[in-house]
Structure 1
Amino acid sequence: MTALPHTIPAMPTTRQPGCPFDPPKELVEARAHSPISRFPFPDGHQGWIVTGYDLARAILADSRFSSRKELMRHHPTIDYGDIEVPPAPPGEFLLMDEPQHSRYRRPLVGRFTVRRMRMLTERVEQITAEHLDAMEQAGPAADLVTAFAKPIPAVVICELLGVPYEDRGRFQENIDTFLGGEAGDEELLAAYAATQQYLAELVAAKRAHPTDDVLSDLTDGDLTDEELKGMALILLSAGFDTTANMLALGTFALLRNPEQLAALRADPGLTDQAVEELLRYLSVAKQFSRVALEDVELAGHTIEAGTTVILSLSTANRDPDRFPDPHTLDLRRKDGAHLAFSHGIHQCLGQQLARVELRVALPALLRRFPTLRLAVPAGEVALRPETADIYGVKSLPVTWDA
């Protein structure tokens, strides 16, 4: 006889006080009970939450589970009633299945290879040095988010896609608004509409006058302007927001773990391992959703066709069956097979770019400011709400010895 499934009655909206890097305790406790739990959505839909590593990884690679936007009519914290969700706009391939997904992703794959991203290292080093110079000249105190963590990935991704320098501030502000988890509906929709309008104008400009960037290259194919606009939105938002929050939250985590910080300062050869461990430990892209296209048996339970499954990647990346002592930040951890970049056909296209930026920017920051420290008590650091798509800090006041 199959045991009754564990139930998570509501999606946690806060983390434990004093534990800003740990997943909500309700999800950790659920994982200790079972890798999969029942979850009643606010609209009454009976879904599931997966908190175990092996199960989450398996679902991400299983074509019986869909990423299609129009099938995901359930939000973990909001009851939208009977609103019908439309399919993803053209080009927004993260919310599509095959073959549409590959139609948009395939033209990009060759532009985000490991080799090409490594060739960008020198430019990332230049951008990082420029922002560290500005921090030092304005110091000895700064908000690391606005002075360092946001502008570096914003400049990098905008240069890759050919966004003019003078437009980057507006783009960054709008992305912050509709991904930050705190804007009201009107403000969020206005920011999203402004971004869509700007990208439409940018695509038209690239088609008329191509320059040396990814978006201009894509205008040579058979993609429509609407498709290019959707692809640009995915690349700009994903390429900026996740890396920005990893840089800020990663620095915060290192400052709160002085032994690990000292180890990284003492051994620059530890950088690659350190980046992978920070990606695992922090899991800023906390969760994804999938919908079962048919009845699927998982861990002794039947996931019925049409059922939404939330994959808690932050908890899966802390699964003790996969990572020994998972709640400890250990920069010497050798197993980096985390799910921070997802898995399967939707594995993050820009993961190598993110790695280059993290491997360059974090060590450069620590070298430039050997006495870097928090300028406020750790408990006063402003965190993004748990409802944000990407977790992180809103501001990180730091100081150093001049």
Structure 2
Amino acid sequence: MTQVRQAPVPASKTMGEPTARGRFGEYGGRYAPESLVEACREVDEAFREAWADPGFRGELAELLALHAGRPTPLTPARRLSEELGVRLYLKREDLTHTGSHKINNVLGQALLATRMGRRRLIAETGAGQHGVATATAAALLGLEATVFMGERDIERQELNVFRMRMLGAEVVPVTTGSRTLKDATSQAMRHWVGATGDSHYCVGSVVGPDPYPWMVREFQRVIGEEARAQCAAALAAGVPEYVVACVGGGSNAAGTFAGFADTTARFVGVEADGGAGAARGSLGVLHGCRSLFLQDGDGQIVEAHSIAAGLDYPGVGPEHAHLRDLGRARYDTVSDGEAVGAAVRLARTEGIVPALESAHALAWVIRAAGDGGLPAGATVLMTLSGRGDKDISTLKELL
């Protein structure tokens, strides 16, 4: 049975700022070369100053509204809800400009980069959505963009690669290791070491050295805050009983959870069963932070696998590891086959083709509704983090 009835933790213990050392509990920190430690300090100082500036916040809100298309709607999945015996609501990040939640964070970091006097954005990408969002923001604000992408992901996300290049970004193939997201992130960080003077590293998820896990979560908080207000209007109780989102590094989940941190809503993060960090990882350090990662007996990172390129990461953001330890969030895994089946089911019941990343979260809801993990009639908010256009070729081959 998919058991999810964990006890809520008081809001004061969750989703606040990290400690002065950049920690969420025992996770987080700033494990980086000396040159990047100083660069991270500059980002931290600039972000704190900008986030306290109503002018910066107002400019970002205007961009999110006029360029990204916020607010995104809360859509009741009526036919699927009837089949499952629960009340499922979808937070529609697939309807943003560029097609996923990534644009929320990238517009924030791009504005921050211009405030810091940086002329170029460096980014990593797996599914390509963060890369497309970075290229989009760079074009909008007159910045250069260099995106590192694993060679394997370039092959399976050809459409997004073309979109990035059409927007003027340089796409750099990464041929080392698994040739996926982990190695693209490693290469992007190495590149940043020699380019800190004129470039900003635009991390795409709640991973990396402090302040990135916190900063990215705050830029993605707009998802949870909008959903909180929309649920207050749509639900008799005002708050859903369960909040569910897919987790690779975990930015869409962190942003959604943040909006409900002070409520009794139960949080569920859903990972790929071949790329799980919080679900079955062990303590380690990767890409500048201490968190939970897939490792062998010698502490070496084990390669992840997922049909969804955005979940093909062998760990999880430090705040998710902390939420797991607190019991505030539960993390579970879903197989490739379950995700594909969920994508087809949503398409045929609601007329929505989800990204395969988002389909993992939906697959968990379908499973939990069937095995009793979700009580009959439970209200479930699920963040639909992206649309499935990028995955059509993969789905076509499989189906």
Q: Which has the higher strand share?
A: 2
Q: Taking structure 2 as the reference length, what is the TM-score of the superposition?
A: 0.34
Normalised to the residue count of structure 1, the TM-score between the two structures is: 0.34
- Whichever of the two has the greater Rg, that structure is 1
